Structure 1
Amino acid sequence: MSSKQGGKAKPLKAPKADKKEYDESDLANLQKKKEEEKALKELRAKAQQKGSFGGSGLKKSGKK
């Protein structure tokens, strides 16, 4: 019982999910979620441009 198939067997393809029908509240929640993600993305981009916050990090003592 030797076969020429080597390696892992390919997984079976999962059936495509049917398109869900959304009501008004679901659509509103999805829209709100997208807006929040967009706002967070913009805030992250702003934070990366500014660098460190406040500019007061660890300070070295003046001892020599």
Structure 2
Amino acid sequence: MSSKQGGKAKPLKQPKSDKKEYDEVDLANLQKKKEEEKALKELRAKAQKGPVGGAGLKKSGKK
């Protein structure tokens, strides 16, 4: 029983899924979701600007 099959077998390709057709309600929901995500990204970008932690590195009083 000699075979030239070594290593893992390749997984079978899955058939391509058909493109979904959206109605007006679905499109409105998708658009709203994209706008909310965009607003969240902007808020996160604003929140990361400026000093983090306030005072920065603390120095010890010892010399």
Length-normalised TM-score, structure 1: 0.70
How far does residue 57 in structure 1 lie from its aligned partner after superposition?
Answer: 10
Of the structure 1 ranges 34-43 and 22-31, higher mean CA displacement relative to structure 2 is found in 34-43
Aligned length: 63
SS at match of 1:12: coil
The offset of 1:40, in angstroms, is: 1.1
Percent of matched pairs sharing the same residue: 90
Range that drifts further, 36-45 or 21-30: 36-45
Q: Give the corresponding residue for 1:5.
A: 5
C-alpha distance after superposition, 1:19-46 (max 9, x if no partner): 1111000000000111111111111122
Partner of 1:51: 50
User: Where do 4+ consecutive residues of structure 1 move more than 6 Å?
Assistant: 56-64
Q: Per-residue deviation at 1:58?
A: 12
TM-score, structure 2 length as denominator? 0.71
Gaps of 5+ in 2: none
The Cα of 1:55 is off from its aligned counterpart by 3.8
Q: CA RMSD in A?
A: 2.9
